[in-house]
Amino acid sequence: MGTAASSFLNPIAAELDGVGIRPTAQALMRRAKQRRQIQGMIGASYVVDAAVLMLYAYAGTIPLMIGPAFAACGLTLTACSITLSELGFNERFKDHYLVAPQSTTNMMIMLVFTWIAPEVGVMFLCTLFVVFSFSSLRSTPRQTMMIWTAMALGLSGLFLLTDKPIAMPHGSYLERVATMLVFILTIGRCMFVGMFSSSMKQSLYQSGQKLKEAYKRIEELAELDELTGSFNRRCIMRMLDEEIARAGRSASPCSIALIDLDWFKRINDGYGHPTGDEVLRTFAITMFANIRGVDRFGRYGGEEFLLVLPDMAADNAIRALDRLRAIIADLDWSAFSPGMKVTISAGVATLRPNETPDSFLARADSALYAAKARGRNRIASA
């Protein structure tokens, strides 16, 4: 029941299976299995109702053939539905459960048997209510209105165009037992629908949570450089804009540093690109381990990185970068290849009043160029 409930009632699964794409063979098999489970429940419901009708027959309320005829109609409908499903007919439609036609057909069966056997009409009307309640959980608003309209027209015809005395048998002890079972089964089915509804809400909530987590993860991946795990250029530039705006509002200092790995092309050419990638990753990890929590570090391009230093004036920024430079130089790079040395150069700039991001970066870039021109493995200030 759990599998059928979760799949039947979860509109997100509706159509995570199929919106905009052709369902896979596995998805089609899963859909067919779900439809078989649902039709199995419907068929079982007809058999149970037929058993109650047999009690009415033994009490002399209705002819003996009403129960078998009712079961035959329900099971024939179920068999036809399963056959069409197995032949793939349902997959031609967006709603592959065919909620509206199946619900309408089931309601017509209830209305017809109410007309044939009005002496036990209360049973068919109670079942009619269950059919509508169950189908409305899985139908769209448009389908719900169609089903409701069909039910309203059928009931109008039954009550207004006929003079059938729709009754609730309770004259004899056996009739009272059968009528009691009708209400017990109706209430039980309503509780079953309630459990389905609760399952749907829980499933929707869980799906929503999973989607939130997935979106959050996608956003994180969209902001990170795949190789180094640092922020990518688009993200670090956005953070720079935000920090410039914040510094302008609070009149607080802000510094940046453009950092370049010295002679990185020689590392790639001499030791290979896989080693070069490992050098970049190790450099990024070391930077993350030695900067403040408020600092923002991202890959600006190639072997060039941008470090945003909020609330840090020029002197402190230069000291911080020189400390980072020494840490990088002191790492044991020989683990990648004997004799390997990796150093960095950086250009530091501190924000000026009303300065634009482009001007800010241009000054840091000029300072980086000066650091390289002075022999690399050093820090220069704009």
pLDDT at 356 over 50: yes
Q: What confidence score (pLDDT) does residue 99 get?
A: 82
Span 85-101, pLDDT tens digits? 888 888 888 878 788 88
162 and 272 assigned to the same domain: no
Is 88 part of a structural domain of the chain?
Answer: yes
Q: β-strand 304-310 against 379-381: which pairing, if any?
A: unpaired
Whether the pLDDT of residue 16 is over 60: the answer is no
Q: Is residue 292 part of a domain?
A: yes
Residue 25 lies in a domain: yes
Cα(299)–Cα(316) distance, integer angstroms: 22
Return the higher-pLDDT residue of 1 and 140. Answer: 140
Residue 223 forms part of a structural domain? no
For residues 176 and 248, membership in a common domain is answered with no
Which pair of tokens denotes residue 214? 């997935």
CATH (domain of 246) = 3.30.70.270
Do 200 and 265 belong to one domain?
no
So what's the pLDDT on residue 7? 45
- pLDDT tens, position by position, 276-289: 999 999 999 999 99
15 and 108 part of one domain: yes
In which residue are the tokens 């109609």 written? 73
Within a domain: residue 226? no
Amino acid identity of residue 193, one-letter, is: V
Is the pLDDT confidence value at 240 over 50? yes
Domain boundary among 168, 186, 217: 217
- The region of weakest confidence among 37-41, 302-306, 351-355 is 37-41
The pLDDT value given to residue 11 = 41
Are 200 and 318 contained in the same domain? Answer: no
Q: Are residues 17 and 121 in the same domain?
A: yes
What percentage of the chain exceeds 70 in pLDDT?
A: 93
**Whether this model's pTM surpasses 0.75:** no
Confidence class of residue 259 from pLDDT cuts 50, 70 and 90? Answer: very high
* Rounded-to-integer distance, Cα 310 and Cα 325, Å: 19
| More confident call, 367 vs 142 | 367
Q: What is the pLDDT of residues 209-225, one digit of tens each?
A: 888 887 777 766 678 88
- pLDDT of 19 strictly over 70: no
Question: What was the pLDDT predicted at 177?
Answer: 94
Mean pLDDT (whole number) for 227-233: 91
How does DSSP classify residue 22? P
How confident is residue 139, by pLDDT bands cut at 50, 70 and 90?
confident
Last residue of a domain, one of 159, 186, 217: 217
- What confidence tens digit (pLDDT) does each residue in 167-188 have? 899 889 999 999 999 999 988 8
pLDDT tens figures, 307-337: 999 999 999 999 999 999 999 999 999 888 8
Count: domains in the chain: 2
Averaging pLDDT over each range in 9-23, 185-199, 234-248, which range is the top one?
234-248
Q: 311 and 166: one domain?
A: no
Rounded mean pLDDT, 137-162 = 86
Smallest CA-to-CA distance from 52 within 115, 116, 122, 103 is with 122
Q: Are 208 and 333 in the same domain?
A: no
- pLDDT confidence of 363, banded at 50, 70, 90? very high
pLDDT for res 129? 84
In a domain, 222, yes or no: no
Asked if the structure places residue 343 within a domain, the reply is yes
Q: Could you tell me if residue 148 is inside a domain?
A: yes
Domain of 146 in residue numbering reads as: 2-217
- Evaluate whether 98 touches 35 at the Cβ level (below 8 Å): no
For the stretch 371-381, pLDDT in tens is 999 999 999 99
- Burial class for 165, CB neighbours closer than 10 Å (0-12, 13-18, 19+): exposed
Q: 151 pLDDT exceeds 90?
A: no
In the predicted structure, residue 12 carries a pLDDT above the cut 70:
no
Same domain, 250 and 125: no
Is the pLDDT at 112 greater than 50? The verdict is yes
Q: What is the band of 191 on the pLDDT scale with cuts at 50, 70, 90?
A: confident
Do 211 and 250 lie in a common domain?
no
Q: Among residues 217, 244, 272, which one ends one of the domains?
A: 217
- Residues 20-78: pLDDT tens digits? 456 678 878 888 888 888 888 889 999 999 999 999 999 999 999 999 999 999 999 99
Q: What value does the mean pLDDT of the chain take?
A: 87
The count of other CB atoms within 10 Å of the CB of residue 309 is 24
Both 106 and 169 in one domain: the answer is: yes
Do residues 242 and 306 both lie within one domain?
yes
Instruction: State the Cα–Cα distance between residues 136 and 103, nearest whole angstrom.
Output: 9
Residue 197 and residue 9: Cα distance in Å, rounded?
8
Handedness of CA 239, 242, 247, 250 (dihedral sign): negative
Position 10 pLDDT exceeds 90:
no
